A = this chain, B = another copy of it.
Amino acid sequence: MTDTSNATQAPLAIIAGGGSLPFAVADAAMRRGRPVVLIGLRGWADEAVIAHYPHRWIAVGQGGHLMRHAREAGARDLVFVGSLVRPKFRSLRIDWATLRILPALYRIYRGGDDRLLSGVAELFAQHGFRIVGAHEVAPEILIPAGKIGTLAPSARDLADIARGLELLRATGPFDVGQGAVVADQQVLAIETVDGTDGMLARIAELRERGRIPRDKGIGVLVKAPKPGQDRRIDMPAIGPRTVEATARAGLAGIAVVAGSTIIAEPVEVARAADAAGLFVYGIEQGA
């Protein structure tokens, strides 16, 4: 874990979406003695918190501004981290540098999520930058194996987790989302373009309408990386809001793959899980 090369001591540019994760990554890099510059995505990055760091602002779609800011800061390594809903293509504020690569971007945009993200990484690589995974500079943001908080999954929950993982392995080749909800062996939902939060909101609404044939407190949100997923920019992630949405969906808990999932605000996640009576569980790799 000790970085001794000069290259890693060059500034790190952190392109910051919403939530607290960009700052957790910045803190982790700085603890290792590496200078950082945060490039906030306007409308997403937290203005109050980013003010405590060296920072600049761009709008989503301003790839040229991004590269100029990073170069001015002397950064060659870029980390993309934080929440960002896939934007409407027409609402992007496209700058000139981005405009030149627009046909390529648009082709990528129309692909599945996997292609979108790895395509973007490749475009920056062509301009001399290197995309680094947030977990590579800050491994402490990865969820460990075992329970977070007080509660652990029951035998029934563990069986639901196993079925969820099996399902996600089957849907993986189709570039579908990273999550599913399984309750007492029945698959209640599979994440697609709606995202984890959208899927959980759907469960809450269906339960409200009596369409969920399971009692409250039964069922697990299972998340796992897609096979072949570009982990530099698209790791599964959970945070306090995931816990709240899972509680609203009436489930027993959350299970994610340890070491392959980012956890935002782990202390707050544990507190929220305990308060809601949910478990949050890191599944041992290869389990």
Contact = CB atoms under 8 A, between A and B. Distances in A.
A213 B86 contact: yes
A185 interface: yes
A198 B171 CA distance: 21
Interface in A88-123: 88-89, 91, 109-112, 116
Given A89-B213, A171-B170, A174-B167, A188 B192 contact: yes
B110 A184 contact: yes
A111 B193 contact: no
A192 B189 contact: yes
Nearest to A215: B110
A109 B170 contact: no
A163 interface: yes
A187 to B, nearest CB: 5
Interface of A: 85-89, 91, 109-112, 116, 163, 166-167, 170-171, 173-176, 184-190, 192-194, 198, 202, 206, 210-214
Q: Which 4 A-B pairs have the closest CB atoms?
A: A88-B210, A190-B190, A170-B170, A112-B186
Given A170-B170, A188-B193, A190-B190, 13 more contacts: A87-B210, A109-B213, A111-B186, A112-B185, A112-B187, A116-B213, A171-B171, A187-B192, A193-B206, A193-B212, A193-B213, A194-B211, A198-B206
